[in-house]
Amino acid sequence: MRLRRKVCLLGAPGVGKTSLARRLAEDAYDEDFESNVAMGIFKGTLALGDVSLEMMLWDPGGGEVWGQYDRSFISGASGLAFVVDATKPRTLDHLLEAQVKWRGFIGSRPSILLVNKADLTSEFALNKAQLDEAARLDWYVAHASAKTSYNVTEAFERLGKMMLEARKVSA
């Protein structure tokens, strides 16, 4: 069976949303990449058992962070990938604040928290309390690196499985 689902990437500018999307969709990484488009849509396909899941990754370009939480952006999304920079604790604080403010229309969609830049272990700055708070929100927390490809596919596979489970429950 072949399914196509919308996944929204959410997070502050510079956390690596586009790099993660490109890594999944194209298995590519560009050290000097700077997003200059308002919206990018990447297609990544995962084989999950007997299902071929085509994830349409909606990636808001830089610019106003709160615009990502617009109803029209999130509308129709089957899953959400919240992205933070492991070296910048404020990027997780921002998402935790936004989740509380916008929970009404973010809803209970399957969600993962991608802690990007996990390859920068000496610069890791998120603390256990922040990560514990995110885990309490029913976000699957995955450390990943768009640069090295560490855990990127596995994290999106986990989101895909969560989306398929949610689909079964709602059917």
pTM for the whole structure: 0.89
Architecture of domain 2-170: 3-Layer(aba) Sandwich (3.40)
What pLDDT, on the 0 to 100 scale, is given for residue 71?
72
pLDDT digits (tens, 9 = 90+) for 23-71: 999 999 988 766 656 688 999 999 999 999 999 999 887 655 555 566 7
* Helix/strand/coil (H/E/C) assignment for every residue in the chain: CEEEEEEEEECCCCCCHHHHHHHHHHCCCCCCCCCCCCEEEEEEEEEECCEEEEEEEEEECCCCHHHHHCHHHHCCEEEEEEEEECCCHHHHHHHHHHHHHHHHHHCCCCEEEEEECCCCHHHCCCCHHHHHHHHCCCCEEEECCCCCCCCHHHHHHHHHHHHHHHHHHHC
Query: Mind listing the pLDDT tens digit for each residue in 116-139?
Result: 999 999 999 998 888 888 878 778
Contacts of 145 by beta carbon, 8 Å cutoff, 6+ apart: 116, 117, 118, 119, 151, 152
